[in-house]
A and B are shown apart, each in its own frame.
Chain A
Amino acid sequence: MSFIITFLSVLIFWILLSGEFSGLLLGFAVLYSLLVAYFTHDLFVEKFRGYKIRQFVKFLLYIPWLLWQIIIANVQIVRIVIDPKMPIDPEMVYCKTSLKTDLGLTLLGNSITLTPGTVTVDIGDGEILVHGIGEDHKLAIIDQEIEKKIIEIEGTDNV
């Protein structure tokens, strides 16, 4: 299953990048895609779990919220950089997390980096180290909101 997913992804990516549809090039595309998929399918799809459509919809709804948070974060950064007095008070904070899967942890780490005032420094079992800029110490509340949304995306039944 992971072999087929990797093969199709590589093949579609090749065809989109080359933009040519002659017989010889398509033959090379299939050949190289088979070769690459044979070597790397266990890296590309670690373990196939049946995702439901509901989780995919939750993920699609998560993206606009994340984009809005990125815009808020950038307005904050612009305000900090332009202000001559530079209103910052950096701090390292440990937060707890209940996420277990690699996908969930990756999504959580990248989201924390992109959302206002926080950057992920280290991620371990059940614990993340967050570096916060800014003078208001509301980091933990925002991070728990992100985590709640990601748990909804992951689903609880197939962890």
Chain B
Amino acid sequence: MNGLLAIYGKEMATYFRSPIAYFLISSFLLGTGYFFIYNVFSSGTATMDLTFRDMAFLLMILVPVLTMRIFSGEYSGRTMELLIALPINTWQIVLGKYLAAVTILVIMTVATFVNLIPMFLYGNPHLVNIICGYIGFILLGMASISIGLFFSALTQNQIVAALITLPTLLGFWWVGHLQNMQSNSFMQDFLGYIAFSLHYSELIRGLLRSEAVIYYLLVAATSIILTISYIKWRR
């Protein structure tokens, strides 16, 4: 547990001593603020549905920036050797880093609560929808970060890590569109199940189903286990 906390603390210090955290949080807030004003004021309805959709899309673009340095930076800075020679388990290294990235995601998410103030002041929004939407957003973020984490472990070049993560995330988002082109019903179900977007649209409509929650957590767990195995194998 010591090792996990040490890694977590070091990662958080790295995020906040460099511009990464400030850049991510401010650009996410700016983007979300713009979409919120555009969606709410142009439609005149007090819902977050459209804003959640735009937030998810913004997240797909920002996650590679958040995750690209996680392991690539350690490889290129030759500090990975230090981490492995310290009395810390590989799973503690990976989990500590993952939790730090998720913390940044949570800070980004909580910062958008500011949008809810005028909504509750001047409108009558559905609280359940908003809670489900935020749960969905965090779950989507957790799955996306784990994928970025895995790709970052594969290469020592941060740009390459980001450039593989982005299309992969967009692929998971859009794969649902292929559903209509399949004649096979198994393939239809399968594509519908693996698409990030279809589970997410259920959640932002206020439908909290275990299937969606399990799916996102499964993606996160799989990527984390793959990352741990890869780092162990790499020695």
The answer to whether A and B interact is no
Residues of B within 8 A of A (CB): none
Residues of A within 8 A of B (CB): none
